Structures are given as structure tokens and as C-alpha cells.
Amino acid sequence: MNAIIVGCGKVGSELARTLVNDGHNVSVIDNNQKSIDQISEDLDVMALLGNGADIDILNEAGLKNADIFIAVSTSDELNLLTCLMAKQETKCETIARVRNPLYSKETRFIKERLGLSKIINPEHLAANEIYNLLQFPALSRIDLFEGSDVVISTLHIKPGYKFIGKSLMQIRKETPGNVALVCAVVRNGEVNIPSGSFVIEEGDDITIVATRNEMRKLLKSQGIQNTPAENIMIAGGGTIGYYLMDKLLKHGRTVRLIDRDVKRCTELSEIFPEAEIIHGDGTDRRFLVRHGLKAADAFIPLTGIDEENIVIATYAKNSTNAKIITKVTRTDMNDLIETLNIDSVVFPKLICADIIAQYVRAKSAGAGGNVATLFRYLDNRIEIVELIASANATLLDTPIMDLKLKRDLILAGIIHNGNFTVPTGKDMIREGDSVIVVTTHKGISSMQDLLR
């Protein structure tokens, strides 16, 4: 496919990298020379310096032959305008990043009127991920498969967990009726797609597929505390803080938010009178303690500076038993973050890039495309893909044990008529089933790609 990306900041660069790795032709447009030089050096793309709303620049980027047009600049208005221009000139798919809360209630109207294929709001997506983590504090990451109750999550194995020293087969036998599958394990930086004989060790990070209810059962059976957070403290009243507070308050949570901008505090107090809005420095440790850090069930640094968020989160982790979740914008800080004892880190840019990549992958496969969901875990070393089994899939109605599946690939779950099961060798994939695939292979976009 031919793709054009307007804006090569953190989201645009990550997205360009993903699309190039998936084999697509990519052109990028940005008005910052440094950004253009950097992406030209890093990736095999056509990089153009200029305004994405300049029709001459768009034509030079190959608009007439574009299959998909993605606008992820820092300006919502520019993103919408460039997508509108693209739709007027060609029949390509159009995706716009729109972040402003003022537009969030009009997303459907804007999408329909402008003929957009998709509108992405990374801050809203990040707030949703943080909210889900607050419902499962024991987990370091959790993602939902849209339209079902199935979740994919990561659990760090701490000292004293009953998992330690047991094989996956043994764990399943000890939790009768539990429908959950450990589908990936990271140990000492190495990724494993485990078999039933794999033995869990302290320090492992295990990735699990299950329904929400079965996930709770599994954690309870292992004696892992997982009480949803009720009393939440947030440092930073930006866009993510706004979306998160709105969701928490609608679900009856107690929220205390700190921001150093007195004007912003006044605005939030008027919008959310039921929350406690405090004017102050959320990076001041003594200030945080004085205003209830140690009594909080969860503490979430959401300032605009990554380094501040990491430092505050690290301090809070050593000072309280609260669930610690922070937001990091830069995608090149994984090595540093992995050395710290932070419960969960959310990367809005990666969430945004994953969702767009999922859409592009589904479209690029044409009539056989059936990618419903795409998640990338463990620094992109593992992909979790939800595929919809179409009528022409060659592996339908065949026992899984008889399929010649690729190595380093596991069928982690099948959703049939809304019911989730962990498949055995005797199970078969039926037309219309959702199949959850966990693999180290990249670019899976159809059922046929599962076979050797």
C-alpha cells in the first residue's frame, strides 16, 4: 500500500516505522527540518519538508496514488483540513488525530461530515488504559478486545507468588474451570512462547489472555491482591488528566488532582465540582505527602515532562503501597524505565500508532483482510492479533492439532458466538470466529499467515 503521513513527530515516526516494516511505501510531510532529516536517516521513506495543507506538497508525496492518508500533526485543525483535502482529491482512506476535548463529543459528527475513515485521540485512549489498570491493580498492563469481555494483560511475578516453581500445565490443573492462558513470558530480557511444561520463576513477566472474570479468578486463586482503586491522586491536569478524571468520577471514584497552573485548577474545579482540585507543585514530594499520597490507592503522575513523571513515580513507589501508573511520551526510554520499580507505564503515542497500524494492516490485506485488533507487547517483540475467520479461510473446520502452524506462534483463544475458550488440539476454527494469535512473527494479517 501507498501511505502518506502528515506530521513526523513521535506518533508519525513510530507509525512510519511500523508501516515500513510491514512492507508499505511511505511518504511523510513535516514543516520541521530536523524531523525530516531524522526520519530520512532512520527509515526508507520519502520525506518532504512543507505544510501538509499545501496541495503541491501533497501531490509531490504521491496523493493521487495514495491508498491511505494519515494526519498526525500537533494541530487538530490541520489534521482535519488535510484529510478533507485528501478526500476531495482521491478515494483513499483517511485517518486524523484529534486530541482537543472540545471536539471529543463531536467525533461521530466530524467523522461523518468529513468522510473520515477513523479519528484517533491518543490522550483519550491513554486515559482508558489507565482506568482499566485501576480496575486490575495487580497487572502492569491490560488491553481489551473490543466488543468482547476478553482482555490481554501482563503480570510481573513478585516474591511469594504461588505461580513460582510451577509449570503452566500445573497452574491450569490447580484452577479448575479457569479459562486463562499464559501465552508469553519474558525472562531476563528473552521472550518465550511457552509450552505447558514451562515453569514460572520469580521476576518473570507473563502475558495472559482471559475474560475479565476469569482473570480475577486466576489472581484470587494465586493469592494476589487485586482490589480496584477507589481513592486516586493525579499529578497534572492536562488532557489525559481531564479524560481520566471524567471517567473516574462517572464511576464513583474519589479523585484528588494537583496542578501548578492556578488558571487550569479553576477551570477543572468548574468542570468537576465533585473532585478535589489542588493548586500546587505535583513534583514536590513533601507537598504530595501533605495532601494524602500515603492514603491513596493509586497515584498517577501525568505532568507534561517525562522525566518529572518518572522521578515522581519512583519516589511514590518507595513511599506508599499505592498502585503507581505514569505516562511517558518519549518512546526511546524503555531501557531506563525497565530498571525502575514502577508498576505501570502508559505510552499514548504507541497506543495511537498501534491502532492506526491495525487499521492499515486490515485494509492492506484486501478482501482477505480480517485483522480486528492488534497489540504490540514487550518492546514490539510480540504481536497479539485478533483475526476474524472468513468463509474462504483454508484452515476452517480442521482440528487445530492437524494444522501446520508456524513456530513461535500460539492460538491463545477463540471467541465463538460471544463465548471465549482457550483452544485444545481437538478444537476447530469456524467461520466468523475471532481467533487470538500471539506470535513473534511480524505482519500477520490473515488466517493464511498462520500456516507454515
**β 46-49/25-30 pair status:** parallel
Q: How far is CA 49 from the centre of its chain?
A: 30
Strands (E), 147-261: 150-156, 180-187, 190-192, 205-211, 231-235, 254-259
User: In what helix (H) or strand (E) does residue 419 lie, and over which residues does it extend?
Assistant: strand 419-421
User: In what helix (H) or strand (E) does residue 123 lie, and over which residues does it extend?
Assistant: helix 122-135
Q: Which CATH superfamily is domain 231-346 in?
A: NAD(P)-binding Rossmann-like Domain (3.40.50.720)
**Strands ordered across the beta sheet of 344-346:** 276-279, 254-259, 231-235, 298-301, 323-327, 344-346
Class of 126-221 in CATH: alpha beta
Q: Are 409 and 437 in contact (CB under 8 A)?
A: yes
Segments making up each domain of the chain, as ranges: 2-120, 126-221, 231-346, 357-450
> What's the start-to-end Cα distance of the chain, in Å?
24
* pTM score, whole prediction: 0.87
Q: Do domains 126-221 and 357-450 have the same CATH topology?
A: yes
d(CA 163, CA 158): 9
pLDDT per residue, tens digit, the chain (452 aa), is 899 999 998 889 988 988 898 889 999 999 999 999 999 999 999 999 999 999 999 999 999 999 999 999 999 999 999 999 999 889 899 999 998 877 777 777 888 888 888 899 989 999 999 999 999 999 999 998 877 889 999 999 999 899 999 999 888 887 766 678 899 999 988 888 998 899 999 999 999 999 999 999 889 888 898 999 999 999 999 999 999 999 999 999 999 999 999 999 999 999 999 999 999 998 898 999 999 999 999 999 999 899 999 999 999 988 899 999 999 987 777 667 777 778 999 988 888 888 888 788 777 655 445 788 888 887 778 889 899 888 887 889 999 999 999 988 999 999 998 889 989 899 999 999 999 999 998 888 888 889 88
DSSP 8-state secondary structure symbol assigned to residue 327:
E
Class of 357-450 in CATH: alpha beta
Decide which of 3.30.2010.10, 3.20.20.70, 3.40.50.720, 3.30.750.24 is the CATH code for 2-120: 3.40.50.720
